[in-house]
Structure 1
Amino acid sequence: MIILKRTTSKNNDFQQLVKDLDAFLAVTDGDEHDFYNQFNKIEGLQHVIVAYLNDVAVGCGALRPFDKETMEVKRMFTLVDYRGKGIASQILTELESWSQELGYKKCVLETGIRQTEAIALYEKNSYKLIPCYGQYLNVENSRCYAKEL
């Protein structure tokens, strides 16, 4: 059974999963990794979920305020050996619930066109493609999504 733990970016398991995520993205993003990486700092994140299976941290996700009504989903990742088991969807659902508890009405996120598994996850969970925002505005390989909660 998956256990979802609400925590912060100070959580050691979250920090290790983010290192694994960054190593994964360094390969899939290629030359664009440094550009994307500058927007993915984890210091000070107050809304982090770590998923545990048999006391092993296998996945994570985080939120940060985007505007008064919106949270941005960040740092979604599941270890490769644990993919396809619904863990990421559970993390995403928990992040959405937490957003609602905090009074937010929407979630937004950005992913890359090479992150086909991530795109499938978000679309499966009713996220809709939106125009790219903020620092991703004119980035050809970015895809931005939103979901009303």
Structure 2
Amino acid sequence: MNITFETPDQPAVHALIRELDAHLYSLYPAENVYALDIASLCAPGVLFAVVREPDGAAIGCGAIVIQPEYGEVKRMYLRPQARGRGVARRLMEVLEAKALEHGCRTFMLETGPTLDDALALYERMGYRRRDPFGDYPDHPCSVFMQKESGA
């Protein structure tokens, strides 16, 4: 497995984002899916990583949007066949390390309450539940989490 920072504007990433969106929209009402589109993921201040198999096939992605006071984890996705191998944890570690290089010391995220594997991963990595942040409304379809870096 290889994790590199790449442009999100490429066909392999478009396919990953379509899969992620289909999954999220199957679980939650559209107004409660706070997804960034490809153009937003290409904006300055967005760190976007792609996970690839040794043969080059894209199997996952994730981003951190650097805000003035925190980095927000966005668009975390692994294809089902890539799950259960520690890949998501490694992707998060790579994203956080890159964000630390950009001066980010606080990480936040919003995720869905039924995404049990994601919630468990975030908790194992030191994220703790918190109140809504940014422009997010307080809603039962959202779980908000935060982690302070020790670096």
Give the secondary structure class of the aligned counterpart of 2:99.
helix
Listed one character per residue, the Cα deviations across residues 108-145 of structure 1 (whole Å, up to 9, x for unaligned) are 00001011111011111111111122343321221111
**Residue aligning to 1:89:** 89
| Runs (5+) with no aligned partner, structure 1 | none
Identity of aligned residues (%): 30
Return closer, same or farther for 1:25/1:48 CA change in 2, 3 Å cut-off: same
CA contact (8 A) 1:13 1:50 kept: no
Match of residue 109 from structure 1: 109
Alignment match, 2:7: 8
For structure 2, the residue ranges without an aligned partner over 5 or more in a row are none
**1-structure distance, mates of 2:123, 2:73:** 14
Larger strand percent: 1
TM alignment of 1:56-95, pairs within 5 A = 56-66=57-67, 68-95=68-95
Give the drift of 1:38: 4.9
Give the equivalent residue in structure 2 for 1:20: 19
Q: In structure 1, what is the Cα distance between the partners aligned to 2:35 and 2:82?
A: 26
- 1 CA distance for matches of 2:34 and 2:110? 13
TM-score by length of 1: 0.88
The CA deviation string for residues 13-56 of structure 1, in whole angstroms up to 9 with x for no partner, is 22211111011112122xx1x11335432314231110011211
Q: What is the SS of the residue equivalent to 1:4?
A: strand
Root mean square deviation, CA, Å = 1.5
Q: Give the partner amino acid of 1:112.
A: G
